[in-house]
Structure 1
Amino acid sequence: MSDATTAPIQVTAPPPGKYRWVIMWLLFAAMVINYVDRQMIGVLKPTLQTEFGWSETDYANIIFWFQAAYAVSYLVFGRIMDRVGARWGFGVAFLIWQIGHIAHGAARDLSHFIMARVVLGVGEAGGFPGGIKAVAEWFPKKERAFATGLFNAGTNIGAIVTPLVVPWLVLAFGWQAAFVVTGLLGLIWLPIWLLVYRRPREQKRVTPAELAWIEQDPADPVEKIGWRKLLTVKETWAYAGGKFLIDPIWWMFLFWLPDFLGKRYGLDLKTFGPPLVAIYLLSDLGSVGGGWLSSRMMHRGMSLNMARKTTMLICALCAVPVAFAAFASNVWLAVGIIGLATAAHQGFSANLYAFPGDVFPRSAVGSVVGIGGMLGGIGGMIMAKYAGFVLDSIGTYTPIFVVAASAYLLALLLIHLISPKYELAKV
């Protein structure tokens, strides 16, 4: 997977000035909130399933419609980010998803939960297009995978916070209050984002040296690039195909892991917190480590193509053992196997998220991320139906984990076949 035609990225010393990292930490905080909101349905699945009498297919339908709204809106928000920018695009998306999250507290039947999840899906679909757009605006190529890995690590912190905090809220105040309290607390982020975020040239706190560092890559074309053009570019499909294959695996971990731990090892709302925390701590290491590794390889002179794909190959191989997770003899062995796979996903994902910023002009990054996110959402819809069918008809997670084990190698193969040299997209 070497790239003989792509010169290694020139190594220069980072400048004084750290304001770009303030932006990254704001994105990190948004992802923490995003995943608290997103994961609560998975953590509360046993509680809600008992109260409302849901079958596995009922629960799968809630996830399916969330994914459907997420897929369509991801495409739309990708375009919105390119038109209005990350500041207002991300801000509007955040407000919508917080409204959807709080609305869960008023749900009284299956249809109410589906409607609340649809609103949540519409808003959350703007999170990653906005985050990737902001990273493309604020970081040069040599730092993008690392910055993406860092803000993406917020998803794992959110997934850690949820099983620690939410059971306490539920036991003390009820599940309805848990949705309302977490939603209102999350809203504190929005005014901070709107006050702090500007494009680098519009932010007075950015030093000239830091601005030069941010803008060190060749200038992008200024004209807007439409969806029709992007859909004819093979690099769009390299990114979107990878997302279609790997996103459903992360969704499966997020929405079904508490249920797996409960059915396989007898854990419940009071006891599955520590295993989930351990799994998502490992995920955090993978997110930061995957972004760091490819950036480190480039700093040592490796081409962009080789650095990204070598890192993704290492991550894909680390996901393979999850095929045997359901056979683990005890819960902590299962946690180790699944945690390795979730870390592998996050490392792979950090490099895949960097792909649009690596090969497309900034004016097209949001749209490409939107197209890929839509394909990932469609893959998640298929996975939701598949998981519900397997669990209702067979009652074992093994076929689901086998799919998870193979998805990353297939994704890397697809990406390499479509974009073997990781060249700039011809748009």
Structure 2
Amino acid sequence: MSAAAHSSPSEPSSYRYLIIAVSFMTLAGASGASSAFSVFYPELLDVFGWSHASGALVYSVNMLVVAISSPLLGWLLDRFGPRWLFTAAAIVIGLAFGACSRVSNLGQYALAYGVLSALGQTALLSTTVVVAKWFVRAQQGRAIGVADVGTGFGMVALTPGTAWLITQFGWQTAFVVLGAVIMLVLAPLNLLHRPAPAEPATSSPSISLSLLLRRYDLWMLCAAHLFMSITMTMVNVHLIEFLVGTGVLQLFAAAALLSAVSLVSLPGRMFFGWLVDRLHPNGAFSLAMSCTMLGFGVLLLLAYFETRWLLYAFVVIYGFAQGAGGISIAAKTVALFHGPYVGTIFMVVNPSGNLGAAIGAWLGGRLFDLSGSYTLTFTTAIVSGLLAIGCMWLGGSNRRSLAAPKMPEPPVIGIP
């Protein structure tokens, strides 16, 4: 057994920081695979002549596959650990993007990106649970926040990089290069994982998974994740197409703006990770979603005022809170359900977000096809954001209720 596994909560260990670094890069690759869709989206609509709803449907398929496969991959994470699961996932994404470069119709694209890539993405996105296991609860939000900066970093680096590859070499070459980078970087990095500290024996009665699945706060957390993802995806998937289609920006400039949003999110993710530990998940989530909805309101103003300062305002307001809702969801999941089933529980919460993303991506395109503009799309996203905040608070206190099943503290390593 590794030294880390024998460490007491007060014993310092540098290995936990290596886990944060590996998770940082893992989330960067996973976010790059996900955000790349919005860069390829306008290009493939032009090449194949798909409608907005049809093109976005591939992303919806991707998210549905993520949702369906999440419980199984959560079980695999609990059973076999992250080392081989995350390594295999990186290879799968690389192969999937290689297949995307050869597609000639919507069905092939749905199979390659919607199904194959989704399986790899599902596994890699659970890395925040692995990070949390190495830190005491009072520091878990901060640790998750630091690792989650990788999500923003991946979008900063890979979104404009993908747009540049498309403009210089074409969409097919861009798929091959992006897939190769993700596979060759993440596969060897994740071989550095080793088992997290094992939980000690306890005389407390064990908590059954079926009992956890009947808890009201779990399903309110899932509902909050669902509406949050509808809100985010309705805009994220269609933002570049909105900017390019309305003539506001060209493809590379639009991708650069999305990259700037992610750049602003880097300190924002660290701030919200800190805020989760101070204000607790519900309050941090509400603040993050409020910034998100305000940013969407700024986008709506672009239809009436053709001025660049609105774009700058959107980058700052929306960018600062980008991804922060997910940090709150992950922190609250671990706080409420830490223990032997945390990986499985996370893979119950995670599919609700994937389902929301599937709905949001398709609905955003469908509303555009019906109305001829993105005004209705952005307005609907704001309404969904309000529902997300309501569900987060309806789930109850950030602290475990006295009526909820008491679960033992995990033997994780504390920050000295």
Cα deviation 1:251-288 (Å, max 9, x = unaligned): 23332111111123432223223322221112223221
| Contact kept? 1:275, 1:332, Cα under 8 Å | no
For 1:242, which of 211, 224, 230 is the aligned residue? 224
Q: Does 2:49 align with 1:67?
A: no
Cα pair distance change 1:364/1:342, threshold 3 Å: farther
Partner of 2:414: none
Letter of the 1:312 partner, please give it. F
Q: Does 2:334 align with 1:337?
A: no
| Contact kept? 2:229, 2:357, Cα under 8 Å | yes
Cα deviation 1:37-57 (Å, max 9, x = unaligned): 222221122221111111112
For 1:119, which of 110, 113, 116 is the aligned residue? 116
Distance apart, 1:402 and its partner CA = 2.2
Partner of 2:236: 254
Cα deviation 1:178-206 (Å, max 9, x = unaligned): 1111211222234433431112449xxxx
Q: Does 2:125 align with 1:128?
A: yes
In structure 2, stretches of 5+ residues that fail to align are 1-8, 407-416
Q: Does 2:20 align with 1:24?
A: yes
Any idea what SS the aligned residue of 1:106 has? Answer: coil
TM-score under structure 1 length normalisation = 0.83
Partner of 2:259: 277
CA distance in 2, matches of 1:386, 1:220: 50
Letter of the 1:327 partner, please give it. L
Partner of 1:426: 405
Partner of 1:99: 95
Q: Does 2:372 align with 1:395?
A: yes
CA distance in 2, matches of 1:420, 1:238: 12
Q: Does 2:366 align with 1:381?
A: no
Matches within 5 A, 1:341-360: 341-360=318-337
Cα deviation 1:388-419 (Å, max 9, x = unaligned): 22111112222222233344443232222222
| Contact kept? 1:64, 1:384, Cα under 8 Å | yes
Q: Does 2:160 align with 1:178?
A: no
Instruction: State the percentage of identical aligned residues.
Output: 24
Length, aligned pairs only: 391
Letter of the 1:256 partner, please give it. H
| Contact kept? 1:70, 1:125, Cα under 8 Å | yes
Distance apart, 1:290 and its partner CA = 0.5
Distance apart, 1:375 and its partner CA = 1.3
Partner of 1:312: 285
Letter of the 2:238 partner, please give it. W
Matches within 5 A, 1:224-239: 225-226=208-209, 228-239=210-221
In structure 1, stretches of 5+ residues that fail to align are 1-12, 203-214, 298-305
The alignment's C-alpha RMSD in Å is 2.7
Greater displacement, 157-166 / 406-415: 406-415
Distance apart, 1:370 and its partner CA = 0.9
Distance apart, 1:115 and its partner CA = 0.7
Cα pair distance change 1:225/1:136, threshold 3 Å: farther
| Contact kept? 2:90, 2:182, Cα under 8 Å | no
CA distance in 1, matches of 2:287, 2:187: 40
Cα deviation 1:53-80 (Å, max 9, x = unaligned): 1111221221221121111112321222
For 2:270, which of 268, 288, 307 is the aligned residue? 288
Q: Does 2:321 align with 1:362?
A: no
